[in-house]
Amino acid sequence: MIAWVLLLAAGFGCVQYVRHVQQLWGVLQTLPAGDSDIDQVHAMLAWDAGYFAVAFAVIVVSAGCILRQAWARPVLRVLSLGLAVWAAYRAVVAWYQWHMLTVIAPVLVAAGHSTPEQAAEAQHMQHLLLISAGVGVVATVVLLWLAWQLGQPAVRLQFRSRSF
């Protein structure tokens, strides 16, 4: 079941990265030669390409696990551990940003440096960051569990070598 969820999430991620690359490409076409923003757009394109490659690899390996291919089990185990580390890192970053926003937003409002609309936006951002941190924690636990399960002898026996 988790392999299916990974496959679907990675597929959704691939679509999002392709859409973002298309938007960036459109922006890049409008920038004049020598513009200082071109390097930033190229950097974002490189990140999108990297994320797309990882998401595509997750799709292939998840499909291999769903089909019970022996090669896919250890690869998904390593990918699960890597994704768990990434999810934990992102959860910590989101929690830290949430904490900083809870400290800074009331100070800005009290000092009169923020409008009611900005305060409402900050509160909305706080909720999103807290949700992001929570999802990251849950994803970390699930991915670690998956990596552990893929190493269990009973699970190993369910995978078969590819026969030609």
Please count the residues of the chain.
164
Residue 163 has pLDDT above 70, yes or no: no
Among the candidates 12, 43, 67, a domain finishes at 67
Are residues 106 and 77 part of one domain?
yes
Are residues 94 and 24 part of one domain?
no
Are residues 29 and 83 part of one domain?
no
Quote the CA–CA distance of 4 and 63 in Å, as a whole number. Answer: 8
User: Each residue of 81-134: pLDDT tens digit?
Assistant: 999 999 999 999 999 999 998 888 777 777 777 777 877 888 899 999 999 999
Number of domains into which the chain is organized: 2
Among the candidates 39, 67, 95, a domain finishes at 67
Give the residue from 139, 6, 140, 14 showing the smallest Cα distance to 61: 6
Are residues 101 and 55 part of one domain?
no
Question: Which residues is 160 bridged to in the sheet?
Answer: 69
| 14 and 51 Cβ atoms separated by less than 8 Å | no
User: Each residue of 9-65: pLDDT tens digit?
Assistant: 999 989 999 999 998 888 888 877 777 778 888 888 899 999 999 999 999 999 999
Residue 159 has pLDDT above 80, yes or no: yes
Are residues 2 and 58 part of one domain?
yes
Q: Which domain holds residue 106?
A: 71-163
Residue 156 has pLDDT above 80, yes or no: yes
Are residues 95 and 26 part of one domain?
no
Quote the CA–CA distance of 136 and 85 in Å, as a whole number. Answer: 10
Are residues 7 and 29 part of one domain?
yes
Are residues 157 and 90 part of one domain?
yes
Quote the CA–CA distance of 97 and 128 in Å, as a whole number. Answer: 11
Are residues 151 and 79 part of one domain?
yes
The Cβ of residue 6 has, within 10 Å, a number of other Cβ atoms equal to: 25
How much is the pLDDT for 1?
84
Are residues 76 and 59 part of one domain?
no
32: left (phi over 0), alpha (psi -120 to 50) or beta: beta
| 30 and 6 Cβ atoms separated by less than 8 Å | no
Are residues 77 and 63 part of one domain?
no
Among the candidates 16, 47, 67, a domain finishes at 67
The Cβ of residue 156 has, within 10 Å, a number of other Cβ atoms equal to: 12
Are residues 59 and 27 part of one domain?
yes
pLDDT classification of 136: cutoffs 50, 70, 90:
very high
